[in-house]
Amino acid sequence: MSDEIKGISQTSAVANLCCNDLSNPLGVETTRPLLSWTMQSAERGACQTAYRVLVASSPEKLGRDEGDLWDSGKIESDRSTHVQYLGAPLKSRQAASWKIMVWDKDGTPSLWSEQARWEMGLLRKSDWKGYWINAGRYGGDPSPAPMLRTSFMLKQRVTGGRAYICGLGYYELYINGKRVGDEVLAPAFSRYDKTAYYQTWDVTNLLQVGENAIGVILGNGWYNAFTAEVWDFKQAPWRSQPKLKCQFHLNLEDGKERIIASGPEWKFTTGPIVFDGLRNGEVYDARLEKHGWCMPGYDDREWKSVEIIAAAGGALHSQQHTPIRVTATLKPASMKEVRPGVWVFDLGQNIAGWAQLRVSGAAGTEVTLRYAEKILENGDIDQSNINPFIKSGECQTDKYILKGYGEELWEPRFCYHGFQWIQLSGYPGTPTLDSISGRVVHTDFETRGEFSCSKEVLNSIQRCARWSTLGNYHGIPTDCPHREKNGWTGDASLSAEQVLLNFAPETAYRKWMRDFRDCQRDSGQLPGIVPTGGWGFNWGSGPAWDSAFILIPWYLYLYRGDLSVLSENYERIKLYVDYMTSMAVGNIVDFGLGDWCVPHEPSPERTCAAKITDTAYYYVDSLILAQMAELLCKTADAKKYRALAGRIRKSFWKHFVDLKTGQVAGARSQTALACALYQGLVDGDDATKVLATLVAEVEAQKRHHDCGILGCKYLLNCLSDYGRGDLAYAIASQTDYPSWGEWVMRGATTLWEDFKGATSRNHHMFSDISAWFYRALAGIKPDIRAPGFKNVIIQPNVVGDLTWVKAWHRSPYGRIESEWKTKGNEIHLRVVIPPNSCGEIHVPTRDASSVLIDGHAAAEGSGVRILPSDSLGQPVFAIEAGTYLFQCVAKL
């Protein structure tokens, strides 16, 4: 035994095994899944020099080191992310167990990792045995939520049971009285006539010998969005009555398989959910509950037979992204009776989700819950900022009708709302703070980073950004959780870097990119909201919004090192860039929206024309496309789009840049100036001139920004990139109008849609400031030369009255940390670079001789190399993985 252990690294181990960025996924669709892991080691310079993957058809075989599906052998490589499975072909429902071993820099192998697994989904159309079924003829009007059921006998124990299910718009699945899974609002919203998602569940432990019952409740969701509103989802081509397709594969003790599938023998009825409209709310009459309806032995003779109906139209794909869950329950901070019998509860936090009601009273009592994110002076709710686009039915209103016995606990299932305040009326008796709680509902992203600093207002902005991000992710990134719930592309593109630093959105983004492909017209044109039912091509889109389709895959590559997302979308991205070319006149594009929600009254002098931001995106998109082409070895394309980018740049110059005045488009617009700098349209001395004009404009506004959503992102980033982090910090930490801090002063718990606060109070489109906290203040930046944080750039700005900053981010290699504090004239910077990656540290001083590393004068050796100083004159060090303390005297 001890002999075997000899030669095994005691300092490194492997963990976090992921398949397609998910831990132990079921329903995998890709026949060459991508495997990732992280090396665990605190040792300085820890890195992987080789790996070996073993994949087996059973955990037992894997336990015996039999890689009957794949034994990669020892591969000399430092790659530990997105390694393609290259083993035996994988069949539908095939299970795979895998483990990994790595060799460290001395060539010493680690122990085998713990086992992980994945399981394939239904890969062929013919695997589907179930029919699409629903509850009879469709009249077009919303009907009560159908409940469907079937039952069957089992003579043997089930050794493995899987449910494959797609219930549109939303479904809840029950087996023998138990709810399957803890997800809500599933499956994900998609362009259902192109793609609908099924989910896979392990139901082994829910089945029993004897009679078994399966029950499903269906909600309307986006599939049957019947509410009249301005985005025309009522006219969506997919729109129809809720429907279900499912099948259950049961492996029995004798080795045989039994399939139970949706079909004509299923029955349906309706029950307590008498109304559910995603944009209106839900009405639940508890008197209509059907006791035991999804239990064996239930008498369903009164139920009707289902009908077999046409499919939703799209291909069925397996849902492989982070699901929506109830992630927290909030107790209200206060309550107030605003009129006799009408109470308003304040959650103290603007959230997306719903309320849970606790009530007892007489049967038939109707309790109403209305949700809002603003209140009137008298404390009553104010829905006026969120209801103008809802043209039929109520807005964010749930109703519960009591069954009349015991304490009744209820919450809606098939809709969600955006709110901080809940108005309660019709309540029998006097409610207490326990009568209502707030259920926080969103895509359940893992937290992947945190930022804090000595300036409290920035910490509040950071908290608001996180809440707005979560409140706006429900399978897709939305603009706001109340008024619209739409997948506005521009909003998501602007916030994506922040989302990638704070959370783990990659599987959700990857899915959203499929929605883009499903919505794109043959001409290449994209709508402003994705998914769309057809609305949004002629208003609300344009390069600044549509670029989400180029930038988000690119950010996934930059921050996560995922190349596959580029190849998956490449042809469609190219189609979009070609579409812009078809719209360009002399390389200038001018269509769709420009800077949005600016804080000043529109004036020609201070407004940035859309053609400036449009053409800049056209340039950046072409350049990114060229880089994608290079990465994917499409040499001719790379050449073509690089040349295109060059032509656009020249035209931009000719039309907009005036070097005599340092102005862009002759306007005093911060957005226009910052756009030219941020998008790389000027450089060298020219950039210095434009920067000087920009700085003068910011000073003229007393160090406030004067930008909408586009300009705000450009402005903070370009100022810190060009050495004016101090000015960016001044803008970011303002607390009077217009600023993020002013929202906080006015009690914001989320980011708002506009600086006045007149419209939505839960938008994330101004949230890139959170990314700026990480990138500019903590200084954590990805490096396009070594994407996915294979090389971590740490380039902090020690600015203003900040005395300390702390941030961490979990990269594909592990946890990066950057924290600094000032000590008199000294700066102490502590950084952690995870194993198998390296760092490039820009020490915030111009006095290179003052730099100490781990208490010693900076010198080469022990994992450190000295690099040429950066464009700001700061000393730069290349470091290996590990923890380092840099000290220096403050920059002069």
Contacting positions for ligand BGC (CB under 6 A): 479-480, 484, 488, 490-491, 528, 540, 593, 763, 765
* Closest chain position to ligand BGC (CB): 479
- Report in angstroms how near the CB of residue 821 gets to ligand BGC at its nearest: 38
- Report in angstroms how near the CB of residue 711 gets to ligand BGC at its nearest: 14
Which structure tokens are listed for 463?
A: 């908290």
Cis amide linkage into residue 169, ω under 30° from 0: yes
**Is the CB of 484 or the CB of 706 nearer to ligand BGC?**
484
**Is the CB of 593 or the CB of 657 nearer to ligand BGC?**
593
Location of structure tokens 């109470």: 343
The amino acid at residue 542 is G
- Report in angstroms how near the CB of residue 541 gets to ligand BGC at its nearest: 8
The answer to whether 132 and 309 have CB atoms below 8 angstroms apart is: yes
The answer to whether 737 and 599 have CB atoms below 8 angstroms apart is: yes
H or E stretch covering 876: strand 876-879
- Report in angstroms how near the CB of residue 612 gets to ligand BGC at its nearest: 18
The answer to whether 441 and 470 have CB atoms below 8 angstroms apart is: no
* Residue in 841, 784, 842 with CA at minimum distance from that of residue 557: 784
- Report in angstroms how near the CB of residue 371 gets to ligand BGC at its nearest: 18
CB-facing half-sphere around the CA of 377: CA atoms within 13 A = 0
H or E stretch covering 762: none
Beta strands in 731-875 (DSSP E): 780-781, 791-794, 804-811, 814-823, 826-833, 838-842, 852-853, 856-857, 864-867
The DSSP-derived string for 136-200 is S---SS--PPEEEEEEEEESS-EEEEEEEEEEESEEEEEETTEE-SS--S-S----TTTEEEEEE
- Report in angstroms how near the CB of residue 599 gets to ligand BGC at its nearest: 16
**Is the CB of 482 or the CB of 574 nearer to ligand BGC?**
482
- Report in angstroms how near the CB of residue 480 gets to ligand BGC at its nearest: 6
Residues β-bridged to residue 103: 50, 109
- Report in angstroms how near the CB of residue 529 gets to ligand BGC at its nearest: 8
Which structure tokens are listed for 629?
A: 């082409």
The answer to whether 45 and 105 have CB atoms below 8 angstroms apart is: yes
- Report in angstroms how near the CB of residue 854 gets to ligand BGC at its nearest: 48
- Report in angstroms how near the CB of residue 47 gets to ligand BGC at its nearest: 43
**Is the CB of 431 or the CB of 487 nearer to ligand BGC?**
487
- Report in angstroms how near the CB of residue 709 gets to ligand BGC at its nearest: 7
The answer to whether 468 and 481 have CB atoms below 8 angstroms apart is: no
The amino acid at residue 296 is P
- Report in angstroms how near the CB of residue 861 gets to ligand BGC at its nearest: 52
Instruction: Give first-to-last CA distance, the chain, whole Å.
Output: 61
**Is the CB of 542 or the CB of 561 nearer to ligand BGC?**
542
- Report in angstroms how near the CB of residue 759 gets to ligand BGC at its nearest: 8
**Is the CB of 33 or the CB of 528 nearer to ligand BGC?**
528
* 3-class DSSP assignment, residue 527: coil
The amino acid at residue 471 is G
**Is the CB of 411 or the CB of 479 nearer to ligand BGC?**
479
- Report in angstroms how near the CB of residue 539 gets to ligand BGC at its nearest: 7
- Report in angstroms how near the CB of residue 491 gets to ligand BGC at its nearest: 5
**Is the CB of 493 or the CB of 836 nearer to ligand BGC?**
493
The answer to whether 467 and 434 have CB atoms below 8 angstroms apart is: no
The DSSP-derived string for 68-85 is SSEE---EE----SSEEP
**Is the CB of 651 or the CB of 760 nearer to ligand BGC?**
760
Which structure tokens are listed for 532?
A: 């769309």
Please list, in sequence order, all residues whose beta carbon lies within 8 angstroms of the beta carbon of residue 590, skipping any fewer than 6 positions away: 609, 610, 611, 614, 615
Please list, in sequence order, all residues whose beta carbon lies within 8 angstroms of the beta carbon of residue 608, skipping any fewer than 6 positions away: 594, 595, 665, 667, 669, 671, 672, 675, 710, 711
Residues β-bridged to residue 272: none
DSSP class of 554:
H
Which structure tokens are listed for 724?
A: 């004016």
**Is the CB of 194 or the CB of 763 nearer to ligand BGC?**
763
**Is the CB of 484 or the CB of 614 nearer to ligand BGC?**
484
**Is the CB of 481 or the CB of 505 nearer to ligand BGC?**
481
**Is the CB of 230 or the CB of 315 nearer to ligand BGC?**
230
The answer to whether 272 and 402 have CB atoms below 8 angstroms apart is: no
Calculated CA dihedral for residues 535, 537, 538, 540, nearest 10 degrees: 80
* 3-class DSSP assignment, residue 390: strand
**Is the CB of 639 or the CB of 756 nearer to ligand BGC?**
756
Q: Are strands 449-453 and 408-410 parallel, antiparallel or unpaired?
A: unpaired
Which structure tokens are listed for 861?
A: 């050796």
Beta strands in 757-825 (DSSP E): 780-781, 791-794, 804-811, 814-823
**Is the CB of 19 or the CB of 529 nearer to ligand BGC?**
529
User: Which phi and psi (to 5°) does residue 180 adopt?
Assistant: -90, 120
- Report in angstroms how near the CB of residue 547 gets to ligand BGC at its nearest: 13
**Is the CB of 423 or the CB of 468 nearer to ligand BGC?**
468
